[in-house]
Amino acid sequence: MTAPTDLELRAPIAPAVSIAGVSKVFGSGSASVVALDRVSIDVEPGEFVCLLGASGCGKSTLLNLVAGLDRPTSGQIDVRANRTGLMFQEAALFPWLTARGNIELALKLAGAGRDERRRRTDQLLEMVHLGDFAKRRPHELSGGMRQRVALARALAQDAQVLLMDEPFGALDAMTRDRLHDELETVWRETAKTVIFVTHNVREAIRLGDRVVLLAPRPGRVAEIFPVDIARPRRIDSTPVATLAATITDRLRTEADNGR
């Protein structure tokens, strides 16, 4: 349960995020619910890991723990990064600020000076293809555009680890498909470590270097699937569909076991 403190004892590359025997219990006594049961995952620097599972498997809980928004009941989480960026299913943009203003505020809270804020915001808006929409307010943007601003805002924090909680879950398939391409490009260009939560099997395979399948009640790691499909991938390609079938079968088994 206790992680070694001596770095020499670790693997050649220290993981960017190390989740070791983490359990999370909500409530106490007979009313308590075990949300996570001894979950262990190591995420390497620059790796894209997808946490996949049905609702109730504790994937969002795990993400909150990594983000430091909550504490594990037992076990240890080590994040070797200056900080973590977090993106939600809702864009959660500040409605009184423009797209530019939302990104600049993130930079301001991260301590950036005025000139740097301006320069970085321009870069980030270009990166998510919203250069022409800098002055629009969230309610003037489509759902996909809002999530792009949210992505740019998360990137603005310059966190080495980016946590994403079903960020494209509320978008239509076409928009989601395009955002997958953009996220992949951004990830390649910035070399960030990404932990991406989803309940969409194909989305997990489309994006992840590895897919961590979580089983529900209590939330635990059922299996970890490496995704050996060359990038750039297409969500409707045969290799993705084949692996999706395998993982879906495994998901069904887990769901039946958990019943």
Residues that bind other proteins (CB under 8 A): 67, 69, 83, 85-86, 88, 90, 92-97, 105-106, 109-110, 129-130, 132-133, 136-142, 144-145, 153, 157, 178, 182
Pair of tokens at residue 249:
């079968």
Which residue, 97 or 255, has its beta carbon nearer to other proteins?
97
Return the number of the residue (26 or 88) whose C-beta is nearest other proteins: 88
Q: State the nearest-atom distance from the C-beta of 12 to other proteins, in Å.
A: 32
Shortest Å, Cβ 182 to other proteins: 8
Q: How far is the CB of 86 from other proteins (least distance, A)?
A: 4
Minimum distance from residue 98 beta carbon to other proteins (Å): 10
Q: Which helix (H) or strand (E) holds 246?
A: helix 238-257
Please, which residue, 109 or 224, has the CB nearer to other proteins? 109
Preceding peptide of 4 cis, ω within 30°: no
β-partners of residue 51 are 197, 212
Euclidean distance between CA atoms 11 and 202, whole angstroms: 31
Residue 86 or residue 212: which is nearer to other proteins going by CB? Answer: 86
Minimal distance in Å, beta carbon 15 to other proteins?
A: 22
User: Among 107, 83, 228, which residue's Cα sits nearest to residue 159?
Assistant: 83
Q: Is the peptide bond before 218 cis (omega within 30 degrees of 0)?
A: yes
CB count in 10 Å sphere of residue 109: 10
Q: Which residue, 125 or 205, has its beta carbon nearer to other proteins?
A: 125
Compute the distance between CA of residue 256 and CA of residue 259 in angstroms, rounded to an integer.
5
